Chain A
Amino acid sequence: MPVPLDRDTLLIFLLRLADDHLVLGHRLSEWCGHAPMLEEDLAMPNIALDLIGQARALYDYAAAVEGRGRGEDDFAYLRHERAYLNCLMVERPNGDFAHTMLRQFWFAAFMHPWWQKIEKGSDATLAAIAAKAAKEAAYHIRHAGEWVVRLGDGTQESARRMAAAADVLAPYLDELFEGDEVTGAVAAAGVAPEPASIRPAFDRTVAQVFAEAMLDPPGAAWAQSGGRKGRHTEAMGYLLADLQYMQRAYPGATW
């Protein structure tokens, strides 16, 4: 029998998911107008819009769960840094195109199998969000994965850059699969399995693409952590300054 889930725990879980998608969507949107080719200049904002759309649906549900009159904009734009619960990988600066594509690939390879499980979970609202998101994440894996292969098994320079990206991002991988009292309660309630249970599926996807890309399997000597508790890297404050500027300068602005 699933164990009932208390409102505060569900809220934290929803905000973690929503913040991952908002922050990564924002990072990806920074490429708009700067992509290496026109085709990617459309593809990356497309994906950013998928991610921000997922974040909106999650914030909207979080607002309903919280029931204190806050809306999606309050969550997205009017919290302080320590209240954001995204994993650290998504807030890291974009780096070069290889770096951005690898981060995108890893994040999608993590979310896709998780969304598929959440889709079958006990929370109907979240399951509906997951059903839509799973299709989008499947495409994100394909899009970014093809680039990982092309760059990893491309020229000497592109291979060097992709390998460098894997080195820089590897310490942020383990945090995706972290479990704590929140993920435990959510799993016990049948809403979403422990992220650690997604690891084998993630590893399979990554191993397949990395083999095709002639890249060494990712590995890190240590793992960064803290995002799920609101402890962020030095990049987060700058990101939020950018993201929140409009709502802070013109409260309640609409268009």
Chain B
Amino acid sequence: MANNEIPLWEVFIRPRNGLAHRHCGSVHAADEVMALQAARDVYTRRGEGTSIWVVPSAAIVASDPDRKAENFEPAASKVYRHPTFYEVPDEVGHM
């Protein structure tokens, strides 16, 4: 019952200063204050976080899985986009 009535929130935790917030899961909560509280209780029990973001799951715009091929496969053949593709002359030293 609760699941049908209470909105879902995506939870992002920043493990340490200097790192980005990372998606770690979701919680149900009636509003943003309760969502932060639930996120704290569910996802930071082992000292995982220094900061929490919550975002209504409904606010996330996701790519269409059916378009995976057209979205992502073209990148597979473009290995020259990886920096490791290039050989750096010894004279350059550390970049």
Contact = CB atoms under 8 A, between A and B. Distances in A.
Contacts, number: 30
B38 interface: yes
Interface of A: 36-40, 42-43, 46, 142-143, 146, 150
Interface stretch (B13-21, B29-37, B66-74, B79-87): B29-37
B88 interface: no
Given A37-B6, A37-B28, A42 B37 contact: no
A43 B35 CA distance: 12
A55 B34 CA distance: 28
Contacts of A150: 30, 34
Contact of A42 (B29, B34, B42): B42
20 contacts: A37-B6, A37-B28, A38-B28, A38-B42, A39-B27, A39-B28, A39-B29, A39-B41, A39-B42, A42-B41, A42-B42, A42-B45, A43-B38, A43-B41, A43-B42, A46-B41, A143-B37, A143-B41, A146-B34, A150-B34
Contacts of A142: 37
Contacts of B28: 37-39
B61 interface: no
B2 interface: yes
B57 to A, nearest CB: 14
Contacts of A46: 41, 45
A142 B40 CA distance: 12
